[in-house]
A and B are shown apart, each in its own frame.
Chain A
Amino acid sequence: MADEKKEKKSQKKQKKIRALIVTKSVRGRAQGGDNSATSIVFLGVLWLSLFLAFAFLVTLIVTTLIDGATRLDGTLITEFPASRPERAGARPAILGSMMVIGFTALFTLPLGIAAGVHLEEFSDRNKWYNRIVELNVQNLAAVPSIVYGLLTLGALTALGVENKNIVAGGAMALSLLILPVIIIVTREALRSVPEEIRQGSLALGATPLQTLFRSTLPSAVPGIATGSILALSRALGEAAPLLILGALVFVSFDPNGLLSGYTTLPIQIFNWTGRPQEEFHTLAASASIVLLGLLLAMNAIAIVIRNRYQKRW
């Protein structure tokens, strides 16, 4: 019955849309075809906006490359930060970024995928509390990253952690930040698995969980993997929440565990950008290139997974 109502509603809308098409386009007929002057100007404007959008971004990348090329050397990767720019490197920042992202993945992937599975496969959407959980996830996805920094700061304070600049704190902030994204990505990937696959499995006497683990989830893995890698690459580029947790410190050692102090590449870039000397700006650009390279690699992996395992249903 609900369906009937919906159908009526959509029929009404269809009518409206049709009316819109008739009135609006008939009125426009006198103005000529695709080769009229206005049409060409319009297309030109569109072209220009796409062109300029890309031009902006190309400029950004090119200027960064030009600025940073001179210091894109071994020292940058192997050395520790130093007060003399020519000897400074981003080694602990690179290692710190990798470690924080590794733990972020470890914390957030199981949780996010499990939550996504619950919301998409097993929760009864007619129950008000399940709708609240759904709405809540949508809202969390739009919360600015800096708020997660403040949340983690407050949580660590409440737990009595004195030194908040530890790998565990950074990974926690970033996990909270991308958890909603992982949930949403998981749900979308599961939703794209056709219902017939589930029914086929259940009709053979598989339990709902067997259906999930042997059929639905494996089919959704490429989508989940692609989305998760993109979310983790967002976390890799984040600086604001870590800044709040005091990651902007002089780190002259390699991070070695959850309780170790650390810094990350984006924080190191921010640090060098804020120095007055031109040489540090160059270093910031060089480190940016390293960061962009890492991100590009992650994106490439995501795209390869998407193209390779994309299912034609």
Chain B
Amino acid sequence: MSTLTTEGGPVQPGRPSALSRQSPRYGERATYMLFRVAAWLTVFVTAGIIIAFAIPSAEFFAQVPVLDFLLGDRWAPRFADASFGVLPLVSATGWTTVIALSVAVPFGLGAAIFLSEYAHPRARKVLKPVLEVLAGIPTVVYGYFALTFVQTTVFREWLQLDTDAFSVLAAGIVMGVMIIPTIASISEDAMSAVPQAMRQGSAALGANRMQTTLRVVFPAALSGIIAAVVLGISRAVGETMIVAIAAGQQARIVANPLELGQTMTGFIANAALGDSRVGSLEYDTLYAVGLLLFLLTLIINWISIAFVRRFREVY
């Protein structure tokens, strides 16, 4: 299709031709231009992100050495003896992400295998959209659930756990529940894309369904499955509302998942509530943490794209 735009040059003077263009169609060129501009606008968005983050971050790092930021273990940007070590935020993000994945990966993959390899096609046709609708539940609602039900009712009342009003565990588990549909849906796509001939080939050799699933379908779909998991990681790292509501607002190195903690996103959300003046160090701090978050998700996404490429190549 790509050559379509280039086929019409401007009308050239000379011999009138039966096959020459009837009208110059200037409108067409303008329309193509609009389409092109719209597509290129996305590049401006990225450029905008880079500029919007680079300037305050540069100001921030002019005052706080990069290594102090990355390796410091005390995060107290608003205290008199301010300290800008980001490790406490990273530790909370790490905990919630790991907890979320240890919930989402087994359950998500289990559900995906069931839907792809065992469920009746009609059951799959109903269950998959339901799963996708559930993926659309707003994260504030998950946050509310984490705080009021998981943390307060289950952890504190039923299980009598030694925990405060907030915990990274509650936030992480609920975040995992939130990610289950994402992982299940994408892995299911990957496994359904494995050609039926491979399953038949395996069955013809006497393998049962479980062996076929685990030894043929799963390895064949592996790169797609990994891409799903990586996308899950990226969602967990970037998720804001659940942690802002249920993980707590104190930035400290988290040693135990029953403790509260503040993640990178939690800090940004919380700090934005305060009135930080533009140009103040506090304002710049938002962007420094935001930049770290942006770069992290970018790297994670690149890994995911690389896996998807491999996955597409197979068939």
Give A residues with C-beta under 8 Å from B: 9-10, 13, 17-18, 20-22, 24-26, 28-29, 31-34, 36, 38-39, 42-43, 45-50, 52-54, 56-57, 59-60, 63-64, 67, 110-112, 114-115, 117-119, 121-126, 132-133, 135-140, 142-147, 149-151, 153-155, 157-158, 176, 179-180, 183, 198, 207-209, 230, 233-234, 236-240, 243-246, 248, 266, 269-270, 273-274, 281, 284-285, 288, 291-292, 295-296, 299, 303
Contacts and interface: CB of A to CB of B under 8 A. Distances in A.
Nearest to A209: B28
B147 A154 contact: no
Contacts of B219: 20
B177 A57 contact: yes
Nearest to A56: B177
B161 to A, nearest CB: 18
Given A142-B231, A146-B290, A266-B140, A26 B206 contact: yes
How many B residues are at the interface, by size bracket? 35 or more
Nearest to A120: B1
Interface string B35-55: 110111111011011011101
Interface in B200-228: 201-202, 205-212, 214-216, 219-220
Q: Interface centre among B41, B111, B294, B300, by most A CB within 10 Å?
A: B111
Q: For chain A, what secondary structure do more than half of its interface residues adopt (helix, strand, loop), or is it mixed? A: helix
B269 A50 contact: no
Contacts of B241: 239-240, 266, 270
30 contacts: A21-B205, A24-B216, A25-B207, A25-B211, A46-B118, A49-B106, A53-B110, A57-B134, A60-B141, A63-B149, A64-B141, A64-B145, A114-B39, A133-B39, A135-B305, A143-B294, A144-B234, A144-B240, A146-B293, A183-B42, A209-B28, A209-B32, A239-B240, A239-B241, A244-B268, A273-B143, A281-B148, A292-B141, A295-B136, A295-B137
A142 to B, nearest CB: 4
B138 A295 contact: yes
B67 interface: no
The 6 closest A-B pairs by CB, nearest first: A144-B238, A49-B110, A237-B138, A154-B52, A25-B207, A114-B38
Nearest to A245: B272
Interface stretch (B2-10, B94-102, B250-258): B2-10
Contact of B293 (A24, A43, A147, A245): A147
Given A122-B1, A299-B133, A273 B140 contact: yes
A117 B140 contact: no
A133 B110 CA distance: 36
B137 A292 contact: yes
A111 B41 contact: yes
A117 B138 CA distance: 30
Contacts of A207: 25, 28
B75 interface: no
B31 interface: yes
Interface of B: 1-5, 25, 28, 31-32, 34-36, 38-43, 45-46, 48-49, 51-53, 55-56, 106-111, 113-115, 118, 127, 129-131, 133-134, 136-145, 147-149, 177, 180-181, 184, 198, 201-202, 205-212, 214-216, 219-220, 231, 234, 237-241, 244-245, 265, 268-269, 272-273, 278, 286-287, 290, 293-294, 297-298, 300-302, 304-305, 313-315
Q: Interface centre among A10, A149, A158, A239, by most B CB within 10 Å?
A: A239
A206 to B, nearest CB: 11
Contacts of B314: 13
Nearest to B153: A63
Given A13-B314, A125-B2, A237 B39 contact: no
B56 A179 contact: no
Contacts of A269: 138, 140-141, 144
Q: Interface centre among A126, A149, A183, A296, by most B CB within 10 Å?
A: A149
B278 A157 contact: yes
Contact of A122 (B4, B48, B240): B4
Nearest to B114: A46
A115 B293 contact: no
A169 B210 CA distance: 53
Contacts of A47: 114
A59 B286 CA distance: 35
B206 A140 contact: no
Given A122-B32, A144-B240, A284-B144, A244 B208 contact: no
B208 A32 contact: yes
Nearest to B249: A274
Contacts of A236: 138
B99 to A, nearest CB: 14
Contact of B198 (A17, A111, A246): A17
B180 A53 contact: yes
Given A46-B114, A144-B234, A154-B51, 4 more contacts: A22-B205, A60-B141, A183-B39, A207-B25
